[in-house]
Structure 1
Amino acid sequence: MEQRTNIVFIFILSLIYTHEATMLNLTLPGQHPYPEHVVLELQSKVNVSMSRRQMLSYTTKDRSNCLTGNPIDDCWRCDSNWQLNRQKLAECGIGFGQYAAGGKGGRYYVVTDSSDDDVVTPKPGTLRFAVIQEEPLWIVFAANMGIKLSQELIFNSHKTVDGRGVHVEITGGGCITLQYISNVIIHNIHIHGCHESGNTNIRSSPTHYGRRTKSDGDGISIFGSRDIWIDHCSLANCKDGLIDAVMGSTGITISNCYFSHHNEVMLLGHDDDYLPDTGMQVTIAFNHFGPKLIQRMPRCRRGFIHVVNNDFTRWEMYAIGGSGNPTINSQGNRYTAPTDHNAKEVTKRVDTGEDKWSNWNWRSEGDIMVNGAYFVASGEGVQVKYEKAYSVEPKSATLIEQLTMNAGVLGSRHNQAKWSAGDDGDSGTTDLVTVSGGGDDDYDYSGSSGFSPTSVVSFLSVLLSALLLHFSGANFEQMS
């Protein structure tokens, strides 16, 4: 019944907005022709999750405790046997990246080897061997491990990297590169200390390797790719951006992540004059932008960017910036300004005069401004145009805390990782000092690189899942 209601709801929205649709660059594969519909659908899902949580709090106390109102988490975490159906996660996406299937339907691949010694002929059992395969794979980990990359980790399409149940860190050269691919899910991974690498041969598929020039040192680089979902990751202190999406990338959701200790956090769009990025569509939802962040949360060039229900904590320069006339739709966020009286503004139009940016469509609705923060909206008729695009009242601070309480890698929300860095805070040589678990009954991260009891249980649950899939017609592969 609920599904039928949602279908009717979306159909009605389509009728409402068809005649209002603005001219968009529809040349990018995977681009939604009516981005306002995606905004409405996301808010509808939040409303449903929050209403269900409130209703069950009066009836079934135990079950209501698992519900947070966060539609992504509530989709899979309320199932006490989620380990037996890990691939259900692919059904839980929201926003523009909701169609990212990752490795759904593919075999399970268990990473048993944390080394990265050979980037041209990677060893079976390593993460690098898994991500370059042509077939869909759902990639899990046999134990807690730290993977120090020697070069960029270049993905192929249709991959899920699922770090639930173990503690996985990725550091080193280049880090994650998603270039000209589609359908990738990255979930529950620590990514930090990424630095420049390259000028060497790197394999990108079982049949191809080639010379790569020097990489930027992004945590995650999305380049000409679509249908990408990054969820419950913790990112900090990389040489360039923590997450950058450029060169015609679209259909992206970045959700439930924890960002800290970094300068230029997130870049969306290659260049002000790069027309394909007009079709870029990105959802940024339920993230916590934490301590020691300076700017670009995100910095947008062109495109349609929906920033919804995030918690921003004391940036040093600005939170959201842009150039090249992007559409920025900010809804239900909490912006806590720094003590610096010269940095209270949430927004920054980069290298652009007011005579130009006054027509850009930057909208703030239901945002909470703390400690003197303020959002400079712009665009003629923006109030009339976007009033119809929201189905909820302005959010309260309590709701923001509820939706973002589990941001970052699960199991470490009450004691986020602490990072040490050089004096400039952006040296790319960061070390992880402490990572403590606790506060989440589903996980117990000891930080050890060997097998822990939790790791063994996780591994056995993956094996059981695979056996169930095998008898239902799917296959399982442990490459070691």
Structure 2
Amino acid sequence: MGLVLPYANVDSSLRALACKAEGFGRNAIGGLHGNLYCVTSLADDGPGSLRYGCRQKEPLWIIFDVSGTIELSSYLNVSSHKSIDGRGQRIKLTGKGLRLKECEHVIICNLEFEGGRGHDVDAIQIKPNSKHIWIDRCSLSDYADGLIDISRGSTEITVSRCHFSNHDKTILIGADPSNIGDRCMRVTIHHCFFDGTRQRHPRVRFAKVHLFNNYTRNWGIYAVCASVESQIYSQCNIYEAAEKKVAFKYLTEKAADCSEACSGFIRSEGDLFVEGTQAGLTPMTSGISMYHPSEHYTSWKVESPSDALKHFLQHNTGWQSTMLPADNHPLVPQQPGVNQIIQEQNLDKRPE
């Protein structure tokens, strides 16, 4: 198709993912400097489980020696400097989701999230005060609350090549207008496919958000919503309406430290509105300074919104049947297969 896509070589070796995100999450290293932890059990907890690896304090690159469903009975808390790398297997998380609380440098790659239940249950919840996060090539659907929830001062985050489906409140950035500390938040969402989800692609309060090369179709209420002080830069995305024709929505709310209510701002550059879609843009208010992504990062790969891009996003987002690359990192010898990977630290023999 001739598309020039971002981070095309990250599957050449296991840890090539580190620092290859585009946008605000570009510095996320995950467990780059840690040993391998191999998930050998689909149990909710215990030695060899995903939860057991995620709670360890040291950096770890977490891989899987099994495929299947992990039924989470409670939120799975992810500690700092972790890569949860689902390449080479097919892992589905259900029941509850991942919680990234006061952590940094986390990479989540090639997982499925489906069927989360319970009050305030999100597939991936990022709050409070987490930073340098990259969520890549995940499939997310059918959770009780949101699919991705970013709030309470969490920032420097990228979401890329994810597939969102069968859901209502998709991505929330900024929980409510009382959290004025969310003015620091910065999020990039690119090359994602929002496939018939109803709203919040995303909904934003306070944050600076860069959307590029996403495909959003058949929403039920709106595509993107800007509220209190948010600045959304929408670049070369494809918006394809069904019954609801307006893509952009604005909601007026009052920040806790302000006397007057306001909405947010959306700037559209090179976006494609098809099937009768109306942008719904409002004029920029005089005196308002809208940020540009180039103020924060120097380069990113953006394609014109075309049929070729739409085809790619329909078929190459979400979980992928990708081989687990070899690990050339000096901490762990390269092995020919997952079953023969040598762990220098035998984590599953540590006491709880």
TM-score under structure 1 length normalisation: 0.63
| Aligned pairs (5 A) from 1:73-222 | 74-77=8-11, 82=12, 85-116=13-44, 122-172=45-95, 174-196=96-118, 216-222=120-126
Deviation at 1:361, TM superposition (A): 2.8
CA contact (8 A) 1:143 1:166 kept: yes
Change (3 A) 1:88 1:387: closer
Residue of structure 2 aligned with 1:467, choices 317, 324, 333: 333
* Pair 150,104 (structure 1): closer, same or farther in 2 beyond 3 Å: same
Residues 1:345 and 2:267 aligned together: no
Q: How does 1:274-423 map to 2 (within 5 A)?
A: 274-291=179-196, 293-338=197-242, 340=243, 343-351=244-252, 360-377=264-281, 378-380=283-285, 395-401=304-310, 404=313, 405-411=315-321
- 1: CA distance, partners of 2:316 / 2:344: 31
How far is the alpha carbon of 1:330 from its aligned partner?
A: 0.5
Is 1:108–1:478's contact at 8 Å kept on the other side of the alignment?
no
Do the aligned partners of residues 91 and 248 (structure 1) sit closer, same or farther apart at CA in structure 2, a change above 3 Å counting?
closer
- Contact 2:22–2:300 (CA under 8 A) maintained in structure 1: no
1:251 aligned to 152, 156, 165, which one?
156
CA distance in 1: counterparts of 2:293 and 2:80, whole angstroms: 37
Percentage of identical aligned residues? 34
Between the aligned partners of 1:391 and 1:185, the Cα distance in structure 2 is 19
Once residues 475 and 151 of structure 1 are traced to their aligned partners in structure 2, the CA distance between those partners, rounded to angstroms, is 28
* CA root-mean-square deviation: 3.0
Local SS of the residue matching 1:265: strand
Q: Shift of residue 406 of structure 1?
A: 1.2
The 1-side partners of 2:225 and 2:308 are apart by 25
Contact 1:154 1:179 in 2 (8 A): yes
Matched residue SS, 1:87 = helix
Deviations 1:325-350 (A, max 9, x none): 20011010000001x2xx21111112
Find the counterpart in structure 2 of residue 455 from structure 1. none
Structure 1 residues without counterparts, runs of 5 or longer = 1-52, 55-67, 117-121, 197-214, 412-441, 444-457
1:249–1:193: structure 2 CA closer, same or farther, 3 Å change rule?
A: same
Task: Please report how far the alpha carbon of residue 132 of structure 1 lies from its aligned counterpart in structure 2 after TM superposition.
Answer: 0.5
Q: For residues 108 and 252 of structure 2, what CA distance do their matches in structure 1 show?
A: 34
Aligned partner letter, 1:275: I
In structure 2, the gaps of 5 or more residues are 255-259, 336-341
- In terms of fraction of residues, the more helix-rich structure is 1
8 Å Cα contact 1:280-1:302 kept in structure 2: yes
Q: Pick the structure with greater CA Rg.
A: 1
Structure 1 residue 387 displacement after superposition: 8.9
C-alpha distance in 1 between matches for 2:40 and 2:293: 51
Question: Between Structure 1 and Structure 2, how many residues are aligned?
Answer: 329
